[in-house]
Structure 1
């Protein structure tokens, strides 16, 4: 009688064989890549066996979810020091059949700048050494390399002139390569639009290693890189940015309020009618931590005004008297000093420190609100939040310039008709790692609970707050793999949420600049084959 072999055993043996072959192929690709770099004079790179590998990889990982053992790690990390190094890294990766991920500041909410799907072998091009900023205060412009952080840009602008600023976000360690690629909403956006609205030119290294400026890449590609999301088009080497005028001093404040659910809900309910309708020079957001203490909940109103304390107090007293802002709540300082305050760093010089500080495990989602939520419903929302795990929601006011810029001016479509954006986040430390799934489930449940109150058809989301719950591409090879079906899947899920009616134009631009899908990630724009 012949012995029988279990089908399960056969499957395990085949899987083991495939795994061994795959590992051998990946190792060969990594050797080919490192040899290619060395031949072409690129020396600043780390392989998994290098002493610097772990430090280099982990330095810019802001979300500790992507340091866990089940996350695929890159075959190499390259830190180009020049445009030529960047070109060579791209071409060597292509020649070695390795996927490319590009990291600027490491703030990708889903780690897409330094992870891959389906264990596809990949390398990371980390731009942190391409961080030079050159400010021309006479023309009110700056050329900034894409590896510079917002803090490094703000510091350079502040040193150049007290009366110039840039319209970007508040976190000082975010990289320019990522934040501008996704739009870049910030405290000046109600007055001057997004970061991407203030891009005048760019230098892009495309999948073939060509160096293109706005003229040579063409307006469709330039449009796509200014808000169409990172990791799809090539690597932006540098941005030419418009600087905007600000007064000698701006007014800033953070007003904390604590009380019963009904009281706090009343403040938020009225804020909906105030924040999006204040004069353009006002930014007034809401920070709402989850949880409660002794039956009370807390909330913070954070503001920046391009004007004096007296002007600020007059407008807020008239439009938001129940907030009870007093002159002692207000401070006047230079714009660059205000960026240090909202970045929660000690001094202006600390803006240029890109060290990550304390990181945590996080998961985030986003929404847009087009119609004010009723007071009754706001009470129930606040009550829901009061029972939540560690986390927060942030409400960012739109209106002003955000409503005047057309929805197709850049790929970022969330313009006229948006009252405010919402960012939802839960976070935890190592000691709570066993409860991570519980916290994420709560976040998803709250997101579902909010559905009746936010934008619909599609339910909008902000591409700089990446959320893989919306769907993903599921690439299985370093390049290629797209199809009409892949485009349709992306369009009907995350593509519509992030880009609305702009998605089809983005697909056309992708097909022009990167038809082989060299630059891809779980939510990159797929080319149309």
Structure 2
């Protein structure tokens, strides 16, 4: 029986040592590091983990399809409910840093569940934009500044409160979120005369995958990659006349 020379053993020893010297990062480590990243951005009070008593109620608050509220439905690691655009930026940066997938939702008017579930087994985070829902109407200039989380009914109401002659060609269902509606083009009754809802967007703000705020600066349609957070839309002057017999 022969013996291997000591020099021939060295490559095997080196491979063995190297193979077991790589650091192993567990899901628990990633989870903890991600939460620490969020806490360093001062948004801890807007973060809901599965251990939080409000987690389930917030997750299910805007899910309209019961198929996605089952024990086996994929659940997000964390739900973040930003109050400011900077909170969205921080969540994007922390998610990217730790390799977590993101889902964004507004009022959950999503019957396919793409805004609050994941088909992969990878952990994911939900950014819930429901709190970013302010609407400011400028009657003199016939425009409105609308946050992505506002529902269409809130936009209609604010316009009606300020003017009896202005309107916006939006969704028939008042519960649709503004951001999602505009992102899909906005196809409704008044489009034949006034175009799609997206045609009446003047300026918009997006947050890209690096957490940067992108403003279209009158180039709406050219910068469309990212999370849609706000837009300036044109409020149309409408007049209806008719005679009934």
TM-score by length of 1: 0.40
Q: In the alignment, does 2:78 pair up with 1:76?
A: yes
Structure 1 position 109, deviation (Å): 2.7
Structure with bigger helix share is 1
2:48 maps to what in 1?
A: 46
SS across alignment from 1:221: coil
Question: What is residue 35 of structure 2 aligned with on the other side?
Answer: 34
- CA drift at 1:221: 3.2
- Structure 1 181/220 Cα, relative in aligned 2: closer, same or farther at 3 Å? closer
- Partner of 2:153, secondary structure, is helix
Separation (CA, whole Å) in 1 of partners of 2:27 and 2:115 = 19
**1:135 CA displacement:** 0.5
1:85 to 84, 87, 98: 87
**Unaligned 5+ runs, structure 1:** 1-23, 226-232, 248-305, 314-529
Indicate the residue corresponding to 1:456 in structure 2. none
Q: Determine if the alignment matches structure 1 residue 239 to structure 2 residue 241.
A: no
1:146 to 143, 148, 165: 148
Match of residue 242, structure 2, among 276, 299, 308 = 308
CA-based RMSD of the aligned residues comes to: 1.8
Residue 44 of structure 1 deviates from its aligned partner by 0.6
Q: How does 1:409-428 map to 2 (within 5 A)?
A: none
Segments of 5+ residues of structure 2 without an aligned counterpart are 1-24
Change (3 A) 1:113 1:38: same
Which residues of 2 match residues 334-345 of structure 1 at below 5 A? none
Partner secondary structure for residue 128 of structure 1: helix
Q: Structure 1: how far apart are the matches of 2:150 and 2:220?
A: 25
What is the number of residues matched between the two proteins?
A: 220
Answer yes or no: is the 8 Å Cα contact 1:87–1:209 preserved in 2: yes
Choose the corresponding residue for 2:97, options 91, 95, 98: 95
Instruction: Name the structure 2 match of 1:432.
Output: none
- Moved >6 Å (runs of 4+): none
Give yes or no for contact 2:201–2:220 (8 Å, CA) kept in 1: no
The alpha-carbon deviation at position 220 of structure 1 amounts to: 5.5
In the TM superposition, what are the counterparts of 1:148-163 in structure 2 within 5 Å? 148-163=150-165
Q: TM-score, normalised by structure 2?
A: 0.84
